[in-house]
Structure 1
Amino acid sequence: MTASMSRRQLLVTGGAAAAVLATTGLPRPAAAATPIRPGGADVVLAWNRELLAIVRTPGLQPATVHPTRSFALLHAAMHDAVVATADSGHPYLFTLEVRGHAAPEAAAAQAAHDVLAALYPSRSAELATLLTGQLAGIPPDARDRGVRAGRLVARLLLGLRANDGSAAVPPVLAPGTAPGEYRPTPPAFAPAVFTHWPAVTPFVLDQAGQFRPGPYPALDSARYARALNEVAATGRDTSTTRTADQTVQARFWAAPIWNYWNEIAQSVVAGSRSGLIDAARVFAQLNLTFADAVIAFYEAKYHYRIWRPITAVRLAADDGNPATDGIPDWSSLATTPADPAYPGAHSVVAQAGARVLSEEYGPNWALEVTSEALPNVVRRFDTFQDAADEAGLSRIPAGVHTRLDHDAGRQLGLDVAEFVLCS
């Protein structure tokens, strides 16, 4: 597997800045040498909201490019632009030597604009309007230096990721035939998605399979039977054992899980009154973790190729386990995603998000979470971990994962987050 790009070396000079590839992670910086306005975090929040709006708009996100890549590029660029112009902290990739006072807000805004304009050219007018508004009122000299720094960071980062494997044509996955092997699921029987993502170069991890979960339990084991019987009972569309709250949970968390955690981060950063440096660092850590977690879980999914519950329950008579019963007409509450089951994506990303935010703000933080899948419903949590656990476990009453998928995903998310935080 291709090595992480953060381990390569690069030197670029020219114009008003010099850039050197950094090999450090994103630890908490010392106090900024350049004063930053108290509302500076709003720059980061505005561009994160803009990207959320983009990926939620049908047709704007390329079907074969995972959205977490865009979030990682956006926030890595903003972070490195802020670090360079605030003369504080440690960059993800590029150390810029900026001559004279440069406005960090201008650098962050320009870097964000250039990244998103390159990724989503059809939104160029809206992106330009957002940039113009953020640059207004910044003293011209500091603004212009910040703009130049932001442009350089964006150009270097986009260039470095240009051949990271994300543009590859996804290979066709042959359907499995043996018990336990993944095959397309009803009702659409769509081909497996993101089959090329295990080969995408990680942002921070050394390799995609660095924290691959251990082998899936044997189909004739008691552990497998317990997990399958649990989802067979609670995840069925006509279940009589699933509680009303479990049904709400299954529907509440049904949208892309990285969107929820970016929304959670927005509320936490705003509520904590974080400044620009802190906000840029938190969002960079969060989204670099998500991007690598997605690469890692697809590597594991396509390494093991485990069947989904809807297949496993319908074909349980052939799994060699006397403790499971086949239910040929079984259907799940939610529609099953078009990829293998193990590990569970929601569990990976939610655990990663909880770990990153707990590192910055402590584990206990009262959260009000909204859902793009279940409008007008708010769920409340006392800790980041509580939210992560519910998000991951919600996929069992949804009928699309077993507890085996959740447990492996939770550990994978924790491992990736710890690595990014310590890099």
Structure 2
Amino acid sequence: MTTLRKVLVLAAVPAVTLSTVLAGPAAGTVQQQPVDVALEWYDVTADTIAAAGAPTQVTNNRTWAIGWLAASRALVRPAAPSYREAALAGAVHETLVTLVPARKAELDQALATTLARVPDGADETNGVAAGRQQAKAVLASRVDDGLDPASVNAPFTPPSTDAGVWRPTPSKYAPGTQYGNRLAKPFLLKSASQFRPGPPPALGSPRYNRDLAEVRADGALNSTTRTQAQTDTAQFWYGSSYVLYTAPLRVAVAEAASRPLAQRAKLVALFHVASVDTQIATSDTKYSYQRWRPVTALRATVDADWTPLHETPAHPDYPSGHATYSGSAEQVLTTLVGAQTAKPYTIGSPTAPGVTRTYSGWHQLTVENVDARVWSGIHTRTADTVGATLGRQVAANALHNAHKLFR
């Protein structure tokens, strides 16, 4: 079982229909739960990307956005349940086979499994056809959008070695990544800079000095002020935001089980549309200001041997990408599902094997992401808090303009 699959299993919520509860199992029979096609293809998407997805996070969010946007469009008109299930499966299958062709055999089997439950006839045939047609249309609209791995990681050369300017960080001193995101085609942003925040605190300003002092004390590898609980939080949230938020989004899809399938597909689509736009806006801000990372600042001005708890990612400090991602996720989930879940949910983390955390909403995830990047020693608090705000703004824009995607 893959790490991502283990995380998703922790967040699994069984689909139970009201009729099943009221009727109860027949005597002497084993009652099988009906299959929730939304969760079924959610897991197929997650497993496909975990097994053979792109090396760049935003490219994988793009795959989700295309597939589930196509499914949403195929479900716009009222139709029989068999049509709807076939349409969703057809849309996501067509997208994944096109973008992750290495998994074609597994995807074909998944489609066959779904369609085996759908009664044969015009609804099944027309549903699959509608899903495939919408997938092809969305794929065509996103050709050359700049979100392929090579474009995302377009080369970046730091303009100088002046104080405050980003440069490759220890220990790997890798070249800057994600520079090309800012040039990619958004889904709903007018431009990558539409919500660009103001500049980071000036070097030597009181806020800058407070930020740096906090990271120096609480984010150091050998910190004497960071508690064990804070270290645990930093470790839990150190991994890919995409992976860490796949389980919470699945919880939201399960929470919405009583809603029409079209609404649940839109939830998944808009989550990832907002995430793609957020990552484009994040890179725009990072590479507009090119603020150096705490490890560079501290080694240059305070302590030449200072080392963070975790390896610093290879791109500028301001704003934090983890914080923008979590702010975007929180905004979408709170708006479309509600601030609190019906019952607590438990998720895991690939960077903290065997550890789980339990939540009852979405805001606490953002709070922990903001803190974690400081306690990891890889971001200033201002980069985190500004990042969370940027993510919420971009996601709110996506939700406000969502109707443009479903014409």
Which of 312, 317, 331 aligns to 2:297? It is 312
Which of 176, 180, 192 aligns to 1:192? It is 176
Partner SS state of residue 382, structure 1: strand
Equivalent residue, structure 2, for 1:297: 282
Taking the aligned partners of 1:207 and 1:405, their CA distance within structure 2 comes to: 21
Taking the aligned partners of 1:278 and 1:72, their CA distance within structure 2 comes to: 14
Using the aligned pairs only, state the percent identity. Answer: 35
Structure 1 position 313, deviation (Å): 1.1
CA gap of 1:372–1:82, structure 2 versus 1, over 3 A, is farther
Which of 174, 187, 194 aligns to 1:203? It is 187
Kindly provide the CA deviation profile for residues 2-50 of structure 1, in whole angstroms up to 9, marking residues without a partner as x.
xxxxxxxxxxxxxxxxxxxxxxxxxxxxxxxxxxx99998323233323
Structure 1 position 354, deviation (Å): 1.1
CA gap of 1:179–1:362, structure 2 versus 1, over 3 A, is same
* Matching of residue 284 in structure 1 with residue 269 in structure 2: yes
Partner SS state of residue 307, structure 1: coil
Partner SS state of residue 196, structure 1: helix
Asked if the contact 2:182/2:284 (under 8 Å) is kept, the reply is yes
> Given residue 96 of structure 2, which amino acid in structure 1 is its aligned partner?
L
* Matching of residue 421 in structure 1 with residue 406 in structure 2: no
Which of 134, 156, 163 aligns to 1:173? It is 156
Instruction: State how 1:119-268 maps to structure 2 within 5 Å.
Output: 119-139=99-119, 140-167=121-148, 169=151, 170-175=153-158, 176-268=160-252
CA gap of 1:383–1:200, structure 2 versus 1, over 3 A, is same
Which of 336, 360, 363 aligns to 1:382? It is 360
Taking the aligned partners of 1:222 and 1:101, their CA distance within structure 2 comes to: 60
Runs of 5+ consecutive residues of structure 1 not aligned to the other structure: 1-36, 88-99, 318-325
Structure 1 position 273, deviation (Å): 2.6
CA gap of 1:347–1:78, structure 2 versus 1, over 3 A, is same
Instruction: State how 1:52-91 maps to structure 2 within 5 Å.
Output: 52-57=46-51, 60-63=53-56, 66-84=59-77, 86=78
Equivalent residue, structure 2, for 1:339: 315
Structure 1 position 137, deviation (Å): 2.5
Kindly provide the CA deviation profile for residues 269-320 of structure 1, in whole angstroms up to 9, marking residues without a partner as x.
22443442231121112111111111110111111111111111111x2xxx
CA gap of 1:45–1:228, structure 2 versus 1, over 3 A, is same
Runs of 5+ consecutive residues of structure 2 not aligned to the other structure: 1-18, 21-32, 402-407
> Given residue 368 of structure 1, which amino acid in structure 2 is its aligned partner?
T
Task: Say how many residue pairs are matched.
Answer: 364
Taking the aligned partners of 1:101 and 1:386, their CA distance within structure 2 comes to: 36
Equivalent residue, structure 2, for 1:10: none
Partner SS state of residue 66, structure 1: helix
TM-score, scaled to structure 2: 0.84
CA gap of 1:308–1:51, structure 2 versus 1, over 3 A, is farther
Asked if the contact 2:370/2:381 (under 8 Å) is kept, the reply is no
Asked if the contact 1:235/1:242 (under 8 Å) is kept, the reply is yes
More moved, 37-46 vs 375-384 = 37-46
Which of 323, 326, 329 aligns to 2:305? It is 329
> Given residue 50 of structure 1, which amino acid in structure 2 is its aligned partner?
V
Taking the aligned partners of 1:65 and 1:361, their CA distance within structure 2 comes to: 23
> Given residue 152 of structure 1, which amino acid in structure 2 is its aligned partner?
Q
> Given residue 198 of structure 2, which amino acid in structure 1 is its aligned partner?
G
CA gap of 1:331–1:40, structure 2 versus 1, over 3 A, is farther
Kindly provide the CA deviation profile for residues 338-395 of structure 1, in whole angstroms up to 9, marking residues without a partner as x.
1111111111111111111111222122332221221221112333111211122211
Taking the aligned partners of 1:40 and 1:408, their CA distance within structure 2 comes to: 44
Kindly provide the CA deviation profile for residues 86-120 of structure 1, in whole angstroms up to 9, marking residues without a partner as x.
36xxxxxxxxxxxx997011111011011111111
Runs of 4 or more, structure 1, over 4 Å off, are 37-41, 62-65
Taking the aligned partners of 1:41 and 1:400, their CA distance within structure 2 comes to: 43
Asked if the contact 1:52/1:259 (under 8 Å) is kept, the reply is no
Equivalent residue, structure 2, for 1:110: 90
Taking the aligned partners of 1:189 and 1:215, their CA distance within structure 2 comes to: 25
